[in-house]
Amino acid sequence: MNEPFKSGFISIVGRPNVGKSTLLNNIMEEKLVITSAKPQTTRNAIRCIYTDEYAQMVFIDTPGMHRPKNKLGDYMQKAAENTVSDVDAVLYLVEPETKIGPGDQYILEMLKNCGTPVILVINKIDLLPKEEILLTIAAYQKYDFLKCIIPISAAKGDGIKELLDAITKLLDPGPMFFPADMIIDQSERWIVQELIREKLLNLLKDEVPHGIAVEVTSMKPRKGKDIVDIEATIYCERKTHKGILIGKGGSMLTKIGSQARKDIEFFLKSKVNLQLWVKVRSDWRDSNFDLKELGYSE
């Protein structure tokens, strides 16, 4: 007798920079969400849809849980916390540490009271010896509300199949919420914005990238040509940041555009003419109007 088809929504939560977006890209076998070594790379709750013959899993990649420093931070924290009680399962990602710090203790208490089944996922197991991984597992085993503990390496793909099997077991029989060939609920324009922002995160240093937003102002296929013309504005909070973004003789902006264009062409499967502009938008991270204009509002 065939097993019934299952479906459900799964939130991925954890502290900044634990590998949530890397895990999701590995599950989807495609780069759909941006990654960076800098914390707080993800700003929105992003839904990616994984479908196989047994189940459809709608994964929600959330911003890293942290202590907010501005209204953008408040928005990101709420985006993460609001998902855990409205889903069918939660993947809680942690790094292999033998002591559970105050940040993870706070998240554990929140998850304990959310009423949603939780799978603890220990990421980056390729970076430490097996003995330390076992100590991490032991540290978390006292939290009996956790349904199971699964060690993985999101970067290398180790443990991903075991994780998907564990999620499938938790889900109830249900319908397919999205078409089988749909993999993300965001527009092409949004993904292009994020690919540009990823280059900013990776090429710029210190505080500058966190005060930057990207808006695609125009995106049109050129008539009769296999090329898409894209214009995008990069907003920063200070004039000094604008100078850093542009670089000497426009060198930094050229580098950002060149790297972003390659990823955008791969994503759109088309040649791209990318034009970037830089504008100052002072203290936009603390302006309700600017946050709404740039897509950071509930």
8 Å CB contact between 245 and 214: no
14 annotated to bind ligand: yes
70 annotated to bind ligand: no
64 annotated to bind ligand: yes
20 annotated to bind ligand: yes
19 annotated to bind ligand: yes
8 Å CB contact between 74 and 68: yes
Of 94, 92, 72, residue with least CA distance to 83: 92
- Can you read off the two tokens belonging to residue 162? 């075991």
Q: Where do the DSSP E strands lie in the chain?
A: 6-14, 46-51, 55-61, 89-94, 118-122, 146-151, 213-221, 227-236, 271-280
- Can you read off the two tokens belonging to residue 26? 């590995």
21 annotated to bind ligand: yes
126 annotated to bind ligand: yes
**Rounded-to-integer distance, Cα 96 and Cα 192, Å:** 33
The distance of Cα 252 from the centroid of its chain, to the nearest Å, equals 25
18 annotated to bind ligand: yes
**Rounded-to-integer distance, Cα 291 and Cα 298, Å:** 10
62 annotated to bind ligand: yes
173 annotated to bind ligand: no
240 annotated to bind ligand: no
The distance of Cα 52 from the centroid of its chain, to the nearest Å, equals 22
Indicate the SS3 state at residue 49.
strand
Residues in the chain: 298
Phi, psi of 22, deg, nearest 5: -60, -40
8 Å CB contact between 124 and 97: no
65 annotated to bind ligand: yes
Of 189, 176, 250, 169, residue with least CA distance to 3: 169
Would you list which residues are annotated within the binding site? 14-21, 61-65, 123-126
Residue ranges for the known binding site for GTP are 14-21, 61-65, 123-126
